[in-house]
Structure 1
Amino acid sequence: MLKHFTPFLIVLAAFITGHAQDNPFEKGYIIQNNDTIQGYIKSASDLELSKFIEFKPDLNTSSAVIYSPTDISEFHFTESKAHFASVKAEIIKGSVSQEADRFAKQLLRGYTNLYKLQLPEEEQATVLRRQYTFLYVLKKGSTYYTLGTYETQNGDIVRTNKRYIGVLRVAFLDCETYVDNLDQLKFDDKSIITEVIKYNTCRDQTQETTLVGTKIKPVVKHGPEVSMTKLYTPENKINYNLDAFTPGYNNSSAYGFAAGYFWDITQPDKSRKYTGKLGVTLMYYAYEYDSERSKKSSGTATYIRFPFSVQYNLKDALTSATTPFLNVGFTTQFALSGLKSDIVPLPSIGFGMYHKRMRYSFLLENDGLSLTYPKILNFSVGMRLDK
């Protein structure tokens, strides 16, 4: 056991040490009073960047300067090519409307510029269509047009106001040849971008409208994880003919302990509800069973395991301090010692939650494809090391 476990701990410690020193600042620049200032900007979600940024002229600078949308006009990330600008947006929720200065990600540059602004939960104005956590802002000359869809609920009745359609009609009135088909316009990036390009071309065919390059980087939560494992076998079942966790005889019981590392990957521009969770763990496993001669036998085994699951987050995966989740997936494992292991993925379902920097989860694995086969219950605790 020790000869397998010691190298694993050394590699895990080196990996953790290296990642604990990750620098969250990305090379970029800000524009202030028409001056371009090179430096480093703290990488964060679009929502976190909407109200302020942290900027360092040099990575060795001990403290960062905080800039709000009234301090600078634009900022740009060099690696991801994401470009943000200060915009004026109309925030509407119910009967309350207010104008706010925010940083919004630029999607289009041309006769008009198009931006996308993420909203915090308390400013979102939808009841059923919870995916609409954002607004679009169209800048035409010095005028800003806020494009949003809103829902209000009165008892069991939910009313939808596709206000963005009316706002676009007003903004596009000065192009006589523009063909209005806005009633069918969907509220998503592809549809809004296509319509704005169509208007820009109609208004000024000599000026090219360009998509602003945004190579969206995935957000990765990662850190060490430890777990406990317990085997549950159906009563009066003998000879499962499985090698993964049971030796194949009646009254099998087992428990295990594992240590490893996990990666929880979110692609923000695709979805914050669905994430992919990967892991690698080394597990020590002790078992006992009744042999063919009704004698109690026991043994130990060591596995290296590779769990994978698709995770559904019940709250925003990037901004919520506490995020409950459900997951479904499989685990592939290889025996390093003890029981022989077939390389067959173990189907799994589970649930858990993130609370601040901690990850708690329960995972139920099935030792085979039949529901009558033994079940393996895992309880895991992980700690995030990402910034």
Structure 2
Amino acid sequence: MTEIYLDNAATTPMSPKVIDVITEEMKNNFGNASSTYELGRKARHVIDQARQKAAKAINAKENEIIFTSGGSESNNTAIFGTAQSRQNIGKRIITTKAEHPSVLKPMQRLESEGYEVIYLDVDENGRISLADLEDALTPQTILVSIMAVNNELGTINPLAEIGAIVKPSNAYFHVDAVQGLGNINLDVAKMNIDLLSTSAHKINGPKFLGFLYEKNSLNLPPLVYGGEQETKRRAGTENVPGIAGFGEAISEIAAIDKKSLQTKYQNLQNIILNELSQAKIEYQVNGGTQKFDSHHVLNLHFNGVSTTVLQTNLDLAGFAVSGGSACTAGSIEPSHVLVACFGKDSARINESIRISFGRYTTEEEVQAFAKELAKIVSKIQNK
């Protein structure tokens, strides 16, 4: 049985060219990038090239890119670094109730240390109120952390508008762009972003690698101490093959028009929704499918159909989908994103699945999935 993969918000398959680049680097360029002899200089050149690609992708300067182990480390570095370096200004931080756990858990840690964290509400589409953000800002606010694209709903936050609101204040603006890089256009200068986190494995790159954009003027303390790698901002011997692969993944996704990619994903969404409507399946879309949403994520609620039961049946039929964030898989707690949108008593919390597409997803795969999904849900709902 061939498995059809529709959980690209959790991770993406590596690009064949990325695999080739990593393999070649592993075979031919094993030097330590901190060494001054030729092998070390070759490794340093590889890292410099990848850094150039990363900076260009978000309109940053090369020396504003710090390679990390991924989105979680980047988020933690931005949050704890800001809190530590700016506590003389204030201890007030603003975020949202729908953020990724790698943002929310550091916030909870800071609360235990005496920081005040404001968690903005989101509506049923996962969007914050800009008026609420403006009201929450005070002279003591040192950080506003809001994700670019929600990992469970696909909701796109208005980064330029948020950046314009935050800019006149004392706060830094941090963006978790793990689901944004590759799916929407990002410009840290135009959007007034001070800190931005990414992850390679969400854009067909290697796992356990990402970068943090840190605006030059910030000078945050590092999260990881040791050697003087990454201009003393992130200790640890650089993963040269992985960074080379990340650079290739960035180049590939940068060459793809985001509007065309979103059109492709919207067409894939429509295949599923049309099939469900034709089969007279009772369902609701969690979040939205409009221009304010990244169409690589489709979160659906099926009345009376348990998430676990539906996932299991789809898995047995050869289809990989999710019940929510992969980072909370195995948890008995309901999706905090759906709770934030619909309340803790909503049936949607335990009756929803997340389908997510990637650039290798085909119409044929989605058509096969849509038919099987309609078949399984119809059987369960008509019991």
The TM-score with structure 1 as length reference comes to 0.22
Higher relative contact order (CA 8 A, sep 6+): 2
Q: Name the structure with the higher helix share.
A: 2
Q: Name the structure with the higher strand share.
A: 1
The TM-score with structure 2 as length reference comes to 0.22
